[in-house]
Structure formats: C-alpha cells, structure tokens
Homo-oligomer: A and B are copies of this chain.
Amino acid sequence: MELIESPLFGRNVFDMRTFCVVTGASKGYGKCIVDHFCKLLAAGSAMVLIARSESLLLDVKNQLEAVRSEILVDIKATDLSKGDEDTFKGILLNSLKNIGKAVEDFDQAVIVHNAASMGDITKKMTEIGSSGNIRKYFDLNVTSVISLNHEFFKLFNRKTVKQVVVINVTSICAIQPFKTWSLYCSGKACRDMLFRTMAIEEPDIRVLNWAPGPLDTDMQVLARSQTGDTDLKVMFEDMHNTGNLLPCEVSVKKLVELLQENTWDTGSHIDFYDI
C-alpha cells in the first residue's frame, strides 16, 4: 500500500553519476551490458566488473577505457560461489579505493546480478543426487547474490544516494519449467522471488527482473550441446541453425530503453518479448 517510490522514477537512469557493479562482466551478456552502459553513463560514473577471469576482465577494462576514459573502471577476478559477506565487502571497498572515490561522489548506484551458471542440465531432477554439486549451484546463483546485494546496500542506499537500481538477470525459466533444467529453472524462480520480495520491502528502490531472451552466448552453446531432454536440445539446435538466437546487443538495447524510461513496475519480471 506504500506510495513511496524512487523520487527519480521516470528519469533516465544513465543521466546520473553512477556507481555500477556488474557480475559476470567478462563475456557474453554481461560484457555487452558493460559496453553499452559505459557509453551512456554520465561522466564521473564508475563501473566495477566482477568475473572469474582476470585476463578477460583486463581486456574488457582496456576496451572500455579506450572508448570512454571519463568512466572509471575497476575489475575484480573472483569466484562468487566461494565468496562470503567479508569477500564482497572487501571487493566493494577496494573498488572505491582503487578508483579514488567515495560513496558521496555518486548520485546513483546500480547493481546488475548477471553472473549465473546452468547447473546440471544433462539429467532429470530425480537423477541429480550429489549434494555437493547442488550446493555449489545455489552458492553461486542464490547465496552469493543475496550476500553481495547486502554489502552493496550497506554502502549504497537511499540515505547515501538519490536512486538505487537493482537488475536481476533472469529467464523465462523462472516462470516455466523445462525438462532436465530443474536446477536452472528453480534457481531462477528463487532469484525472481527474492527480488520481488526486495521490491515490496524497499519501495523507493528500483528493482527489475529482466529476462533477456534466448541469447547467442556460451550458455546457449551449453544448452544445445548438453541438454539431456532430446526435444529441448533439438529446439536449441534449431534456434541456432535458423539464426533465431538474439545477439546480445539487441537484447541489451531493450534493457537500456527500459532504464532510460525508468517507469517499469518495480519488482516485475519483464521479458525481452514482452516489450
């Protein structure tokens, strides 16, 4: 029933000096988000790129700095699944130190929870047994997200910046089950509900569950090579062979438009094909 909302609702997200964190930023969709955001964000903004590979992150950082030197870029190579609250706190504080800025140098904070894994997509749920592998999946796709999000909000919240935007990169799998994708579907459903809850808890923050569509990324290579269910595997092969996968930039452009308009219902699940 709260009518409180972000006072900057309707204002272009990219028009503000922004501290922006993107996970899974070294390749695929995350890198594409980073490329586009870097071109659009107000001068004085900073981007913190998190992924596992130091060398890939360095490449991305160099590319961004060549394109637009007035955006500060820091990178952190880490395996999010192994991190805890202290790890994530350290990453954020070090990033501020590395770029020589403080929280009050920014008007807005944006976090894009993009890093994800597929889990075991070769087996039916009844065939997945290893507690260790299941735990590893949820460590990366759920636990680290909550914990990183927490540390981010300890620094950046409506007491310290004018607007906070949280983007959860989700999937149609959060809504619809797919055979042999039980971990991926359930993990995405879990994350959607987490951010739906956050959206009602923090009505003055902008929360988006963004389903980017079937992207032409490494994850799709996995999907069409490893999916245990034959029909689904063939569907992915067909999408690839007939050129029906989305280039990342086509999907990111729609995300950018949403953020420029900044009028989506906070907490909602919006699919590429919805808009």
Contacts and interface: CB of A to CB of B under 8 A. Distances in A.
A106 interface: no
B150 A143 contact: no
A190 B182 contact: no
A271 interface: no
Contacts of A200: 177, 179
Interface stretch (A41-49, A96-104, A132-140, A242-250): A132-140
Contact of A143 (B131, B147, B178, B199): B131
Interface string A219-244: 00000000001000000000000000
A128 interface: yes
Determine how many copies of this chain the complex contains. 2
A182 B194 contact: yes
A63 interface: no
A199 to B, nearest CB: 8
A215 interface: no
Contact of A147 (B129, B185, B189): B129
Interface residues of A, number: 53
A202 B229 CA distance: 12
Given A138-B142, A147-B134, A186-B193, A198 B129 contact: no
Contacts of A129: 85, 146-147, 150-151, 154
Contacts of A131: 83-85, 143-144, 147
B130 A147 contact: yes
B147 A198 contact: no
A59 interface: no
Interface stretch (A4-12, A16-24, A119-127, A256-264): A119-127
A19 to B, nearest CB: 16
Nearest to A139: B135
A74 interface: no
A217 interface: no
Contacts of A196: 177, 185
